[in-house]
Amino acid sequence: MSFVETLAGLLAESRHTVFFGGAGVSTESGIPDFRSEAGLYAARQVYGYAPETLLSRTFFLRAPEVFFRYYKENLIHRTAAPNAAHRALAALEERGLLQAVVTQNIDGLHQAAGSRRVLELHGSNWRPYCVDCGARCTLDEFLDPARCALDGVIPRCAACGGLLRPDVVLYEENLDDGVMRAAAETIARAELLIVGGTSLAVHPAAGLLRYFGGKTLALINKTPTPYDGKAQLVSHGALGAVLSETLALLP
């Protein structure tokens, strides 16, 4: 029996299925992984620093102009649309076959595809807020040059003039306790955990897999992961194609 046939059968039988995904879920939408070799090279060549430095809390506070230039040019993709993987996951949820999506991505494409139960471990680009008064704004307002100081780069709050920032977890910051707790609980309840588009190398998010004690761990990633030997099912195929083919086999 093929991987997709086996996965389809497990989805049909499972009472609680969770999908855990990373950057590879969105690369098929044209969103590059900033941690890739190309992303590391581009960051150093164009901005003079590695992404881990550029996206750190220290750098955000010390050099906001460079931080926002890098962030806006590399981590916000307004024209990106959900791909086959996002659509398949939303369809599985609609059919009652998927109980939650746990994502490391900040692009909002799962919600754009129609997924409702999405736990965003690293936050979202779509709800910037003021570090001084806490007021939120839209992404359009965040990107509006008319609301930005220093050559249209640094966004300012319309309410108090304070610094706006994306509602994402930067390096040196802790993940949200409530989101992490909810993710751990839903993974702990899962009978079937599908992990896709992630090398499982980014912590503490990847550490959530230790809470899984269900029947089947299914991994879908183009390259091997540290958990391949622990999984009952492993595919190195393209995520969108694998999930779409699996969905097509379900009644």
Number of domains the chain contains = 3
Residue 105 sits in the same domain as residue 183: yes
Other CB atoms within 10 Å distance of the CB of residue 235: 21
Of the residues 12, 46, 76, the one at which a domain ends = 76
Angle (CA) 11 12 18, round 5° = 30
Is 110 an annotated catalytic residue? no
Digit-by-digit pLDDT tens for the chain (251 residues) are 899 999 999 999 999 999 999 999 999 999 988 776 666 667 888 999 999 999 999 999 999 999 999 999 999 999 999 999 999 999 999 999 999 999 999 999 999 999 999 999 999 999 999 999 999 999 999 998 877 765 568 998 988 989 999 999 999 999 999 999 999 999 999 999 999 999 998 888 889 999 999 999 999 999 999 999 999 999 999 999 999 999 999 98
Residue in 77, 122, 203, 236 annotated catalytic: 122
Residue 41 sits in the same domain as residue 71: yes
Residue 217 identity (one-letter amino acid): L
Residue span of the structural domain in which 152 resides: 125-168
List, as own/partner pairs, every contact residues 158-163 make where C-beta atoms lie below 8 angstroms and the sequence separation is at least 24, other chains included: 159/130, 159/133, 159/135, 160/130, 160/132, 160/133, 160/135, 161/132, 162/130, 162/131, 162/132, 162/133, 163/64, 163/130, 163/131, 163/132
What would the two tokens of residue 239 be?
Answer: 């995520």
The predicted structure's pLDDT at residue 187:
98
The predicted structure's pLDDT at residue 149:
60
Nearest by Cα to 188 from 160, 208, 207: 208
Residue 145 sits in the same domain as residue 193: no
Specify which residues 219 forms β-bridges with: 195, 234
Q: Which CATH number does the domain housing residue 197 bear?
A: 3.40.50.1220
Distances from the Cα of 17 to the Cα of 62, 91, 114, 162, 192, angstroms: 43, 13, 17, 42, 5
The predicted structure's pLDDT at residue 32:
87
> Is the N-terminal amide bond of 204 cis, ω within 30° of 0?
yes
Contact 234, 228 (CB under 8 A): yes
This prediction's pTM? 0.94
Residue 56 sits in the same domain as residue 101: no
Residue 216 sits in the same domain as residue 103: yes
Residue 47 sits in the same domain as residue 11: no
Contact 196, 212 (CB under 8 A): no
The predicted structure's pLDDT at residue 251:
86
Residue 105 sits in the same domain as residue 130: no
Residue 24 sits in the same domain as residue 87: yes
Residue 40 sits in the same domain as residue 27: no
Residue 136 sits in the same domain as residue 227: no
Q: Which CATH number does the domain housing residue 129 bear?
A: 3.30.1600.10
Contact 36, 242 (CB under 8 A): no
Residue 59 sits in the same domain as residue 140: no
Residue 93 sits in the same domain as residue 209: yes
The predicted structure's pLDDT at residue 122:
96
Q: CB-based burial of residue 79 (10 Å sphere; 0-12 exposed, 13-18 middle, 19+ buried)?
A: exposed
